[in-house]
Amino acid sequence: MILKTFQKETKELLRDGRVRISVIIVLLLLGVAVWISAKQYQNINEQYEAAKIAERAIWDNQGEKNPHSAAHYGTYAFKPKYPLSLVDQGVDKFAGTSIFLEAHKRNEAQFSAAADQTGLARFGDLTPDFILLFIIPLLIILLGYNSFTKEREMGTLTLLKSQGISNWKWLLGKWLALFFPIFCLTALLFLIAGILLGNLNDFGVFNSSSLLMMFVVYVGYYIIFINIVLLISARTKKSGISLVVSLCVWIIACLAAPKAASNIAETKHPYPTRQEFAANVLKDKKEGLDGHNPWSKEAKLLEEEVLKKYGVDSLHQLPFNFDGYRMQKGEEHEAEVYFKHYNYLKNQYTQQADVYQSLAAISPYLPTRFLSMAIAHTDYATHWDFADAAEEYRIATQKFLNDNFAENSEYGNWGYRADASFWKSLPTFDYDPPELGSILSRNTSNLGILGLWLATSFGLLLFTTKTV
């Protein structure tokens, strides 16, 4: 009975011209989206490698220079483009691609792709994640909205009941007929993505387990929609009503709920404005040591402490240049100030994410979206990790430069210049994103909510079909 129902439903789908056209359109959109994303990924990675090499060459070839001048001269930390961004671009185009690393200041990532786009960008980009999250659920509605209602409208339901059909076998046949084409379509996309990534010259941290996990997440997302669409079809009497109700569910789940969750999270845990943030940082900076001001109260206290520690009467008697030492202590104070205020931003982000997750029960879109971006390394958490790694590198670089100034010159000797070969001894900046296991461990709530959606939708569907 299951096989016969599956065959019947599949034949009806294949005979329906609207279904064939819709599937072809989705396939074409997927093909174009993957091709565009692959080209963008390859192009951005080429730019990343070129910029990284060029910036390092500029740093290495500064010539003889005072180390603190080099600290102000600065360098850049570039964010790599991760392979699975080909499937889900996440927040990459909004988050910026590089951070300028300089003395006394922590900068934010700049040069986001969104900043270079025209007003047409508000209509959205054609990307694989857009099709996966929005278009395929619409396709599920088109394929399955009349799965049960057509039996009532055509009068075949009475005939089937008279033959003593098993409800669960009938349901399973219809479910498989709807699931099979969606599964094949999704598997085809991820197979193409895997082939493209595997054949790129530089596919970074790509691994097949992450791609497979993302595939499993999306399949689970589609199963939930299949269950909901079949549930609506089983509980309504007319195909038109079933279609309208299913579309309303799609609008609420994929459009209204994410926007509402975003607004609620931002209202409950708002970020400070850029002006407020800068003012708070400046205030805390002034309350501590300024490495460039040797006459401040904090600088004099540091001077007394160091003289006492080394048992000397004059800064000239110290075995190092106190100017470089003081500037390094000033950098450490400023780094603590930035850590405090950026940690506050991270806490606000974490609390917003908690609000999102608490509202994920109203839509399967939310946990799917969070998991997809996290696995692809295109979520805000990964961006924060990159920014923190860049800041750690900036702090280490300032210490590297100030220590050289302090250890290789005498107090008051601002004319000291480091050798031209010194700059090459600074380690390069490298950032490795979290592993898949770490990503899944910090997204256990999203996995749990998605699993709850699966279990609940299956349970409601099985309960409902008993009364069909």
3-class DSSP assignment, residue 38: helix
User: Closest Cα partner for 79 from 369, 390, 292?
Assistant: 390
3-class DSSP assignment, residue 103: coil
Residue 165 in contact with residue 5, Cβ under 8 Å? Answer: no
Q: What's the pLDDT at 413?
A: 81
**Mean pLDDT, all residues of the chain:** 85
* pLDDT (tens digit per residue) in 236-259: 888 899 999 999 999 999 999 888
> In angstroms, rounded to a whole number, what is the distance separating the alpha carbons of residues 254 and 251?
6
Q: Which residue has the higher pLDDT, 223 or 8?
A: 223
Residues 335-343: what's their mean pLDDT?
92
Residue 85 in contact with residue 376, Cβ under 8 Å? Answer: yes
> In angstroms, rounded to a whole number, what is the distance separating the alpha carbons of residues 411 and 90?
51
Q: C-alpha distances in angstroms, 337 versus 5, 136, 228?
A: 67, 47, 50
- pTM (two decimals): 0.87
Would you state the structure tokens that stand for residue 258, as one six-digit string? 């994410």
For residue 29, what pLDDT band results from cuts at 50, 70 and 90? confident
Would you state the structure tokens that stand for residue 430, as one six-digit string? 């490298």
Would you state the structure tokens that stand for residue 389, as one six-digit string? 């790694």
Q: What's the pLDDT at 354?
A: 84
Q: Which residue matches tokens 């969750």?
A: 261
Residues 287-316: what's their mean pLDDT?
87
**Could you tell me which residues come within 8 angstroms of residue 395 by beta carbon, excluding any fewer than 6 positions away?**
331, 332, 335
Residues 368-394: what's their mean pLDDT?
92
Ordered by start, the domain boundaries in the chain are 2-465
Residues 283-295: what's their mean pLDDT?
87
Residue 160 in contact with residue 151, Cβ under 8 Å? Answer: yes
Residue 329 in contact with residue 348, Cβ under 8 Å? Answer: no
